[in-house]
Amino acid sequence: MSDDLDDLKDLMQAATPQADPARKVENLALAQKNFDDLQGSTDDMRQTSVRPPKGLFRGVIHMFANFPLRGALVSSTAIVAVAMIAVFPMTQSERVSNGPLGGLTSLTGGAPEAEPVAQSAPMVEPVIVEEAAEISLDAVEMRARPSPQPVAKAAPRALMPAIAADPVIIAPEIDTETFANADDNPLKVTAEEPVSTFSIDVDTASYAVVRNSLMSGRLPPAEAVRVEEMINYFPYDYAAPDAGKAFRPTVSVTGTPWNGGTQLVHIALQGAQVTDRPPLNLVFLIDTSGSMNQANKLPLLKQSFRLMLGQLRPEDEVSIVTYAGSAGRVLDPTPASERAKILAALDALDAGGSTAGQAGLQQAYATAAEMAEDGQVSRVILATDGDFNVGLSDPEALKDYIADKRDSGTYLSVLGFGRGNLDDATMQALAQNGNGTAAYIDTLSEAQKVLVDQLSGALFPIADDVKIQVEWNPAAVAEYRLIGYETRALKREDFNNDKVDAGDIGAGHQVTAIYEVTPVGSDARLTDPLRYGAAPVGGDPSELGFLRLRHKAPGADESQLIETPILADMGGISADARFGIAIAGFGQILRGSDLMGDWSIQDAEALATETRGADPYGYRQEAIGLMRLANSLSERVE
Amino acid sequence: MRMDTSDESLALAAANGDRAAFAVLMERVYDRLFALAFRLTGSRAEAEDLTQDICAALPAKLRSFRGQAKVTTWLYRVTVNAAQDRRRRQMTHARAAEGWGDWETERRAADDEQAQALDTLQAMMRALPDDLRDTLALVLDDLTHAQVAEVLGVSEGTVSWRISEAKKRLRAMKEVTE
């Protein structure tokens, strides 16, 4: 038995080389240097459990702007990291000088056609930067013994230095996901703040992320849950708009399942279907960086696009741009009828290298511009696992760039693949600025839903910049809160400002927004009326509030206004729409909301089961399964 | 002068800021760390780089050392974590080196028999999944199963299971090649 191992051991003994003496001296010196540096700054080190002020830190980073400083910094390691960079040039000067630092054009200045310089840079051996090792070592340790220190997840992205060198750092998986989210919309007192304004959101990415988490046996992180995206994931049976209208709002009022003293105001928008669609120019911008090399990423992406290709018409055109280390166009604009050619290009894609997102975007937009003709819709579809680690010199500049392209008529949609370094926050930012949708694709059936069943909604905008504003009547509604849409809040004055961007509705899209309102005089009121406040305002108490909707025809500059009062007796809500309420409750429980009372996931499951209806594609049944799963998982936690 | 001081005393002194103790400790453990790094990565260049990563990070890590484990166990754990981490990062590189994938053993010992033996070793290590390979590397480094368990943070039973699983697979491989 042990013979096997003895043989192996001898072999191993023979194979193991001596450590290189020169490297040994260097490495030991490095260790000693770091040791000394650490001692010198002992007091500082121990006090950094609070993150240093941004400005200061940013300054330090700019000093070292030539080094890629990757996001997931644990605060206490930040200073260690910087100290190590200082050492780096002495011990590693040769490798550092290899870093291809010149290759990236600035977002704002770079001409889109410019051949990305990075392409011509020789492939250099990846530079492993010391601070990265430090960070990730810590991350590994932190996993082993849970640390009280929170991992700074979202913020560091903004701290990325101006230039990133070609290769390198993918921090360990669990620490690199960032999610866009904000605290629950707070309860508002109508007398103090009667007007609520937000942009619609047709994304569904959050639901798929939640599903993926639950399916792999974990409760989703609370910040991954965006309730409105969960609700909007499901198709509902809303009334269709009249001919010639882009969409139709339906408002209904119903009791709140989780609170006997409040009511839900359910606002549903149904977008018109397009029967006669214009030709489509699609530029697939595909992330082929090394991190995409997993079964649920690039291979799934290829299968997904194959599905989608079947939905295109002969007059549509497709082009493929990839980015990884350098950007390149792998398929020139090709009519969708040349299926074999497109499929061949798709099949030839191979993952490797790091992610030059910026150069890729520039090239994709340049390609889209080349394809554009009057009366056609151009859209860039970015497929990525979200790892924009190279060339994204300035997230703000990137947003501006995309916003600028949006105004020139090219839309941007983002498809997220895989988990691990899914950068939900950047995906959201890109899609929101690009007037597009963000969807997360974790299975082929999700690809079927997003890219086949709902393709027209995903690709054909019927109304741009759709904003909702509700003015609540203080005579009827004491308090209100908007469920979800935390990341979509708008300022009150933005509603009438047509320059302010908002979400778009695609063909056949459905959008649901739910308010929980506390009627005047209800026991469920959480705040006490003011003793010295203004006298109760007049107004007809049968009118709960007033709904205003603004939208623009696609490409138009001026918005149109739709107004309708919300009446207390608006009529019951359909069972079909109540399914959305079950999802809303489920989502809020997953977010850890403290306003759900005793209402549990089991109650959500009961309501969802009761309201499931025909459910031809089984989406709802799947959600019920997820509720069951979440229930078991949360019981295990307790 | 301090050569008879135990690793643990050195580490604790170093954790408290004793520069000389740190230097002695590093000198003492460097070669072993390098050897383990090699066994985990299967490549000399990788092992050098990995050891460098560890050297750079150790001073900071050492501050959390409280004598709760043997120093070598603790150092091994740091090394294994660093190797796994490096592997994860490299998965995303173009040259995505699977551990032991691009074997670069010095071929200067060019006698055929040894070269062939090394090929066998490479083939074996490459055929194992990461967790089995890491476990095996530690066991081949003369650690007991209990020590390996402590390094990897798994139970002793798991280590024993992994080793027998590794043996099983290696035997199966041998049968196929013979």
User: Hey, are the CB atoms on B22 and A354 less than 8 Å from each other?
Assistant: no
User: Hey, are the CB atoms on A84 and B56 less than 8 Å from each other?
Assistant: yes
Average pLDDT value for residue range A212-224: 86
**Of residues A162, A203, A378, A193, the one with CA closest to residue A283:** A378
User: Hey, are the CB atoms on B63 and A352 less than 8 Å from each other?
Assistant: no
Does residue A581 surpass a pLDDT of 90?
Answer: yes
Question: The tokens of A527 are what?
Answer: 């705040």
Question: The tokens of B86 are what?
Answer: 């490096």
Any residues with CB less than 8 A from the CB of A599 and at least 6 apart, and which?
Answer: A257, A258, A259, A585, A589
pLDDT of amino acid B165 = 85
Question: The tokens of A217 are what?
Answer: 């046996």
Q: Residue A410, SS3?
A: strand
pLDDT of amino acid A117 = 39
pLDDT of amino acid B72 = 82
* Domain span(s) for CATH 2.60.40.1230 in chain A: 188-274+462-637
Q: Examine residue B2 and state whether it is found in any structural domain, yes or no.
A: no
Q: Examine residue B119 and state whether it is found in any structural domain, yes or no.
A: yes
Amino acid A283 reads: V
- The number of distinct structural domains making up chain B is 1
pLDDT of amino acid A386 = 67
Which among A19, A36, A87 is the nearest to B19, CB-wise? A36
Q: What is the mean pLDDT of chain B?
A: 77
Residue where the block lists tokens 């191993």: A12
Reported ipTM: the value is: 0.81
Residue A178, sorted as left (phi over 0), alpha (psi -120 to 50) or beta, turns out to be beta
Q: Higher confidence at residue A401 or residue A596?
A: A596
Instruction: Output the domain CATH number for residue B118.
Output: 1.10.1740.10
Residues of chain B neighbouring A290 (CB-CB closer than 8 A): 91-94, 96
Question: The tokens of B136 are what?
Answer: 């095996």
- A60-114 tens-digit pLDDT: 333 333 333 333 333 333 333 333 343 333 333 333 333 333 333 333 333 343 3
Query: Nearest-CA distance from B6 to chain A in Å?
Result: 20
Neighbours of A477 (CB within 10 A): 29
Amino acid A294 reads: Q
pLDDT of amino acid A413 = 83
- A525-551 tens-digit pLDDT: 888 877 776 656 667 788 899 999 999
* Homologous superfamily of A280-455: von Willebrand factor, type A domain (3.40.50.410)
**Three-state SS string across A139-164, please?**
HHHHHHCCCCCCCCCCHHHHHCCCCC
The DSSP H or E segment spanning B57 is helix B44-62
**Cα dist from A329 to A113, A283, A362, A473, whole Å:** 11, 10, 11, 56
pLDDT of amino acid A626 = 93
Contact predicate A425/A157, CB 8 Å: yes
* Homologous superfamily of A188-274+462-637: Gamma-adaptin ear (GAE) domain (2.60.40.1230)
Helices B19-41 and B7-15, axial angle in degrees (round to 10): 110
Q: What is the mean pLDDT of chain A?
A: 73
pTM beyond 0.90, yes or no: no
Any residues with CB less than 8 A from the CB of A494 and at least 6 apart, and which?
Answer: A197, A467, A500
Q: Examine residue B1 and state whether it is found in any structural domain, yes or no.
A: no
pLDDT of amino acid A177 = 65
Residues of chain A neighbouring B124 (CB-CB closer than 8 A): 8
User: Hey, are the CB atoms on A134 and B57 less than 8 Å from each other?
Assistant: yes
Does residue A30 surpass a pLDDT of 80?
Answer: yes
Q: Residue B123, SS3?
A: helix
Give the domain range for residue B63. 7-177
User: How far apart are alpha carbons A56 and A65 in whole angstroms?
Assistant: 14
Strand A410-417 with A438-441, pairing = parallel
Q: Examine residue B16 and state whether it is found in any structural domain, yes or no.
A: yes
Tens-digit pLDDT string for chain B (178 aa): 455 678 888 888 888 778 888 888 888 889 888 988 888 887 788 888 888 888 888 888 887 777 767 888 888 888 888 888 877 776 654 343 444 444 444 444 445 666 677 777 777 777 788 888 888 888 888 788 888 888 888 888 888 888 888 888 878 877 776 5
Neighbours of A624 (CB within 10 A): 20
